[in-house]
Structure 1
C-alpha cells in the first residue's frame, strides 16, 4: 500500500517540461512501477457501449465533424506558431496518465492520444508541454487558454458541453464503488449508509453521489488517487470513481477491488475551448485515424498495452457521433 501512496503527489497547474516526453512502451507496466498487479473482475469493468444519448435530445453526445482539407484555423495556427502543444493531463492515474517512476516520462492510454495529436499537428509526437491539472481545474484551464486541451479521462456531459468543446468519445467507463478486500459494502446501494465515501471534487462521481448518497458521508479530494490513499489509511470506507480509473488503482494495490455494477456511462473526450472549433475538428480527424485499422488500430494497440489486463473484454472504441 505504501508504494501506491507515493504516487499521490500534489497536482497543480504546473509545467512539467516542454518536450521530449517519450513513451515507455517497451517496458512492461510491472517493470515500470515495481508494483504488484491487481485485477478488476471481468464483467464488472467491461466497457459500456455508447448507445444512449446524454440527454433526451441527444444534443450532448455529438461533436463537430473532422476537418476536410488542409487549411488551418486560428487555434491550429496558434499551436504551430508556438511549436508545441500544451496539454492538461494527470500524473497520478496509473495506466491512463502517470509519470513513469523509472524514466520520469509520462505514459498511459491518455498520453498515447496526446502524442498522436502532436504528431498530426506538429509532425513530432514529443512536441508537447504537459501541465498537471486537478480535476476541478480542468474547465478553468481550458477557458483561460492555459492549455490547448485537456486529455485526462474527462467525461462528456451536457453541463460541461456548455463550458468547453469536446471531441468524439475515445473511451467509455462507468462510475463504480471501490473498497478494501473484506469490506461489507456491496456496491452503490444502501450498504453505503453511515459510511464515508470518497470522490474527486468536480467529478461526475461527486455529482451522482450528492444526488443519491445512500446515507453516506461524502468526502471530496482534489484527485481520484487521493481517494485511494484515504481508503488505505482507513479515512474512507469506499471510493466512488470511474471503473477505468479504479482498474489502475487496483493494479497498484491488490488489496482493493470493485464491487457492484457501474451505475453511469462515462464517455471520455478530449476537451478544448469553445472558440477553438478548428482544433476540435482537427482532433476528431486524428481520432478517426486512431480508431482505424481494426484489431491493429493505434487505439487497439494502446488498449492492449495499457488496459486489457485490467479491463478485459473490450473489442474496440466507442463509435463517433457527429452533428
Structure 2
C-alpha cells in the first residue's frame, strides 16, 4: 500500500515520561477511510500513541506521517486536519450547545460561521437543544455535542479516546451509526475502547499492552491467530466450578458471560480432560472463542507491567 493510501504510517514510536516507557516501538499503518479500534488495559499506551500520531505530543523515538505530513516536523498541519475527542468532556458547561459550537468555529476561523454552526446542529440532530446549557446535558447528548465540535471543520482524521464511556447502550449505538456514516464519506477513524461490541464494529483492531503492540488485524484474524479453544456451560453449578477450573494448568482463563461460563485454553485435549474430570455433572459445549475470550487471554499473557514508574 502506497503512502498516498495511508492516513497514518508511523514506525517505532517511543515515548518516555521520566524513567517510564509509556509507548515502546509501536508501528501503525492505517488506510484512509477505515475505522480502527485501539484496545488494551488501562495504562497500556493507547492515549499516548493517539496524541503522538496527531502531533499533540512529541516522540522520543520513531518517525512517520499522518495525513501526508511528518509527525515531527509538521505537527501543526496535522492538528488542523484532525478531530480529537478526549475521554473527558472538554467543552464549556456554562455555554449553550450553539455557543460552544460557535466558539469552536471561531477557533478554527471557519468562514460563514453561522451557516457552519447551523449545518452542524442539523447534521448531529442538535438543533432542538441548541439553547440548552452543555452542563445540563446527559452523557449521550454531551457526547453528541463533542462529536459535532470535533468534526465541524471537516477533518480528514478523527481520533476518539474512549468516547462512549459512561453513556447508555442506545446512545452508544447511535454514536457508532454516526461514526460509520462519517467513515463512509471518507473520514478515517481511530478509536480507543474497552467495549468488545464496539471493537467488533471496527475494520481492524490494534491491541496494546504495557506500551507495546501485541497484535493487530480484523476481529476474525485476531481470534484465529490466538489459537485458543473455548468451552461453554450453562446451568446450575457452573459458577461454583469456576474457581476449581481456574486452578487447572490446562485452563488459561475462565470467565462469565451472563449465565454462561466460558473456559479457554491452548491445548484442546488437555482442556477437555480438565473440565470433564473436575466437572463430570456439567454439560460442556465447544464454541468459537469470542473477542472477549481472546482479549482476556492476551491480558493474561502480557503479564504484569514491568515498566519503570520512577
TM-score bracket for the superposition, by shorter chain length: under 0.3
Max Rg structure? 2
The answer to which structure has the higher helix fraction is 2
The TM-score normalised by the length of structure 2 is 0.27
Which TM-score applies when normalising by structure 1?
0.26
